[in-house]
Structure 1
Amino acid sequence: MSSPQRADRTSSPSDRAVTSLRERKKAKTRRTIQEQALRLFAEQGYDATTVEQIAEAAEVSPSTFFRYFPTKEDVVTQDDYDPILMEMLKAQPAGRPPLTALRAAFRTAFESMGAEELDKVLARTKLAISVPALRARTVEGMFATIDMLAGAVAEREGRDPHSPAVRTLVGAVMGVMLPALFTWVEQDGRTPLPVLLDEALGYLEAGLPI
């Protein structure tokens, strides 16, 4: 049996290139499935659209669809933004207060998205608000996001992620972001989402002045 060092030495550039290509293909397939799903939802409604129709439009089999998205709800509620947000948060200076760091991380993460990507987020958010089954899944996703952010903040500050201070801070961040998202949807994206989110987090950072 080869040692880890031996395996590392025998891993060739071509092997790494194949792995990278495979990951890019998987990401492309996932993106295509989601794009076609959002198009069909807009054209014929969420409830009227089947997984089979989405798979056909994306030129994949239904079984392939389920490898990427366990349910139809997941094609709306799942995204790849958490790793981006975590990367931006880790890039914040160590001495920066946690709320300031979170605000800067959210602003940088959303500003890095192009117009097309933000249009997809807007479409998904509209669905998540309007479809009852998706609202329930969205709430589940929010709890997962709170856990993720609590862990990241606790790591930065050397605190317990389950401490009331950490959980309250992260909960407050999520709380002020929700009205910003609702405003964005009501305005049909007229005011850029990064602007609305940064404004909301700025109010929180200032102590929520009225």
Structure 2
Amino acid sequence: MGKAAATKALLQERAMALFVRQGFDETTVAQIAEAAGVSQMTFFRHFPTKDAVVFDDPYDPAIAAIVAAQPLGLPAMERVRLGLLAAWGAVPETGDKATREKIRLVAGHPRLAACIRENNRRTEDLIVEALTGTGTVRLEARVAAGACLGGLTAALLDWAVEPDGQELGERMRAALAVMGESDSAARGER
């Protein structure tokens, strides 16, 4: 990990600790920078806003590419589902405790909870672009991407607030399996 990536990771780690301890709104950029031992200017080199610390997602372009690489003969929903499943398998497992705290923070804060949709929209747009670039009709691409991302978001929020011993990766794979079952039933394959 280079120095810039290490600084960014440290800022995220310290910010989340402060958000959990004293609340999102009560935490300032100055406090985050101080806790990380950097200047506020350095903070803003890595994140345009305090919200961006929570929603930074470097995986979207990779997810779209993996979705686009799924077999063209499959329905859009299945291409998205399988692409997300493959993408999830390629992402290193995160510490469930830290991730759960982050998702609880987001779910419990009205403005941050609203940002989930905006974050999903950016991911959805990239998936739609990837699918339409391989010949999928735009509406089919939009519905497939929206449905799969909505299902994953529902499973993620449920996992954060209702711990059942299931690891996050296991929960995401289970949610994608449910969507596969629903897609098969809609095509009359049961």
What's the TM-score, normalizing by structure 1?
0.75
| Matching residue within 130, 137, 148 for 2:126 | 148
Aligned to 2:147: 172
Report the alpha carbon displacement of residue 54 of structure 1 after superposing the two structures with TM.
0.9
Aligned to 1:183: 158
- Residues 103 and 168 of structure 1, relative CA distance in 2, 3 Å threshold: closer
Report the alpha carbon displacement of residue 72 of structure 1 after superposing the two structures with TM.
0.9
2:55 matches 1:80: no
Paired AA for residue 188 in structure 1: P
On the 8 A contact 1:177/1:201 being kept in 2, the answer is no
On the 8 A contact 2:124/2:145 being kept in 1, the answer is yes
Paired AA for residue 64 in structure 2: M
Q: Which 4+ runs in 1 deviate beyond 6 A?
A: none
Report the alpha carbon displacement of residue 131 of structure 1 after superposing the two structures with TM.
0.8
> How big is the alpha-carbon RMSD for the aligned residues of Structure 1 and Structure 2?
2.5
Report the alpha carbon displacement of residue 108 of structure 1 after superposing the two structures with TM.
2.3
- Residues 95 and 196 of structure 1, relative CA distance in 2, 3 Å threshold: same
Query: Is the radius of gyration larger for structure 1 or structure 2?
Result: 1
- Residues 199 and 77 of structure 1, relative CA distance in 2, 3 Å threshold: same
On the 8 A contact 1:77/1:128 being kept in 2, the answer is no
Quick one: distance in 1 between partners of 2:101 and 2:61?
Answer: 21
Higher relative contact order (CA 8 A, sep 6+): 2
1:34-90: CA deviation from partner (whole Å, max 9, x where unpaired)? 111111212222222211111112221111111211111111112212133134324
Quick one: distance in 1 between partners of 2:80 and 2:136?
Answer: 16
On the 8 A contact 2:63/2:127 being kept in 1, the answer is no
Quick one: distance in 2 between partners of 1:122 and 1:83?
Answer: 24
Quick one: distance in 1 between partners of 2:99 and 2:64?
Answer: 18
On the 8 A contact 1:89/1:102 being kept in 2, the answer is yes
| Matching residue within 31, 38, 42 for 2:9 | 31
User: 3-state DSSP class of the match of 2:156?
Assistant: helix
Number of matched pairs:
184
Aligned to 1:128: 106
What's the TM-score, normalizing by structure 2?
0.82
1:96-144: CA deviation from partner (whole Å, max 9, x where unpaired)? 4332222222122223334435554433322221111212222222222
On the 8 A contact 1:176/1:204 being kept in 2, the answer is no
Quick one: distance in 2 between partners of 1:55 and 1:159?
Answer: 45
On the 8 A contact 1:176/1:201 being kept in 2, the answer is yes
Give me the identity figure in percent. 33
Quick one: distance in 2 between partners of 1:53 and 1:198?
Answer: 39
On the 8 A contact 1:180/1:200 being kept in 2, the answer is no
